[in-house]
A and B are shown apart, each in its own frame.
Chain A
Amino acid sequence: MANLNLDNEKDNTYDVIVIGSGMSGGWAAKEFAEKGLRTLVIERGREVKHNVNYPTTNLNPWEFKHRGVISQKLRDENPIASRCYVFNEDAEHFVSKDKEHPYVQEKPFDWIKGYQTGGKSLLWARQTQRWSQYDFDGPGRDGFAVEWPIGYRDLAPWYSYVEKFVGIAGNYDGLDILPDGEFLPGMGLNCIEEHFKSSVEKNYSGRHVISGRCAHITEYRDIFAKQGRATCQYRNLCQRGCPFGGYFSSNSSTLPWAMNTGNLTMIHHSVVHSIIYDDKKQKAKGVRVIDSLNKEDKEYYASIIFVNAGALNTNLILLNSTSGRFPQGLGNDNGLLGKFIAFHNYRATVSAEYDGYTDKHTTGREPTTSYLPRFRNVKKQETDFLRGYAAGFGARRQIITDYNGYGEELKENLLNPKYGVWQMRSHMMGETIPKESNQVKLDLSKTDDWGIPLLSIDVDYDENDEKMVRDYHEQFTEMFEKAGFSNIKTHDSKQAPGLDIHEMGGVRMGKDPKTSLLNKWNQMHACKNVYVTDGACMTSTSTQNPSLTYMALTARACDHAIKESKV
Chain B
Amino acid sequence: MDRRRALVNLGIISGGLVLFPSCEFSKEKATIALNNLEINASQENLLKEIIASIIPNGEIPGAIELKVDEFVWVMLDDCFSKEGQQDFLKGLNSFNDVVDKIRGKSFHKLLEEERSTVLKSIEEGDQFDEKDKVGEFLRTLKQLCVFGFMQSEFIMTEVMPYSLVPGKYGTCETIDPEKRINVNG
Chain A interfacial positions (CB closer than 8 Å to B): 58, 60-62, 65-67, 69-73, 187-191, 194, 233-235, 237, 357, 359-367, 399, 401, 403, 405-411, 414-419
Interface class of chain A by DSSP: loop
Chosen A-B contacts, 13 in total, with CB atoms closer than 8 Å, are: A70-B79, A71-B78, A71-B79, A188-B169, A190-B171, A190-B172, A360-B173, A363-B169, A367-B169, A399-B181, A403-B146, A409-B116, A410-B54
B169 touches A359 (CB 8 A): no
Number of A-B contacts (CB under 8 A): 130
Smallest beta-carbon distance A82→chain B, Å: 12
* A67 to B70 alpha-carbon distance, docked (Å): 13
Not counting A58-B164, A361-B175, A362-B170, a sample of 17 additional A-B residue pairs whose C-beta atoms are within 8 angstroms of each other reads: A60-B156, A66-B74, A66-B78, A72-B80, A233-B167, A362-B169, A363-B169, A364-B185, A403-B142, A405-B116, A406-B123, A407-B54, A407-B56, A410-B54, A411-B58, A411-B62, A417-B183
Q: Name the one of B80, B116, B123, B170 contacting A363, with C-beta atoms under 8 angstroms.
A: B170
Which residues of chain B in 86-123 are interfacial with respect to chain A, using CB atoms and an 8 Å cutoff? 112-113, 115-116, 119-120, 123
- The reply on B22 being an interface residue by CB < 8 A is no
| Residue with the highest number of chain A CB atoms closer than 10 Å, among B74, B116, B166, B169 | B169
Closest Cβ of chain B: how far from A197's Cβ, in Å? 12
Contact B166 A234, beta carbon cutoff 8 Å: yes
Q: Which residues of B contact A405 (CB under 8 A)?
A: 116, 120
CB contact under 8 A between A362 and B172, given known A235-B165, A401-B183: yes
Partner of A362, one of B58, B80, B171, B183: B171
CB-defined contacts of B149 to chain A, threshold 8 Å: 414
Residues of A within 8 Å of B153, CB to CB, are 60, 62
The CA-CA distance from A419 to B182 in the complex, in Å, is 10
Please measure, in the bound complex, the distance between the C-alpha atom of A127 and the C-alpha atom of B99, giving whole angstroms: 55
- What total of chain B residues lie within 8 Å of the partner, measured CB to CB? 50
Report whether A411 and B60 are in contact in the complex, using a CB–CB cutoff of 8 Å.
yes
* Contact A188/B156 with A233-B165, A403-B146, A406-B116 known, Cβ cut-off 8 Å: no
Interface residues of chain B, those whose CB is within 8 Å of chain A, are 53-56, 58, 60, 62, 71, 74-75, 78-81, 112-113, 115-116, 119-120, 123, 142, 146-153, 156, 159, 162, 164-175, 180-181, 183-185
Shortest 6 CB-CB contacts between residues of A and residues of B: A363-B170, A191-B172, A406-B116, A190-B171, A407-B116, A364-B166
Q: How many angstroms between the C-alpha atoms of A198 and B56 in the bound complex?
A: 49
Residue of A nearest to B184 (CB): A61
Closest to A234 in B: B169
- Quick check: A363 and B173 within 8 Å, CB to CB? yes
Cβ distance B144 to chain A, nearest Cβ, rounded Å: 10
Q: Once the chains bind, are B156 and A72 in contact (CB under 8 Å)?
A: no
Rounded to whole angstroms, the CA-CA distance of A399 and B113 in the bound complex is 29
Q: For B169, give its contact among A365, A407, A416 (CB under 8 Å).
A: A365
**Closest residue of A by beta carbon distance from B181:** A417
B59 smallest CB distance to A (angstroms): 10
The reply to whether A66 and B165 form a contact with Cβ atoms under 8 Å apart is no
User: Are A189 and B151 in contact, CB atoms less than 8 angstroms apart?
Assistant: no
Contacting pair B172 A407 (CB below 8 A): no
Closest to A361 in B: B175
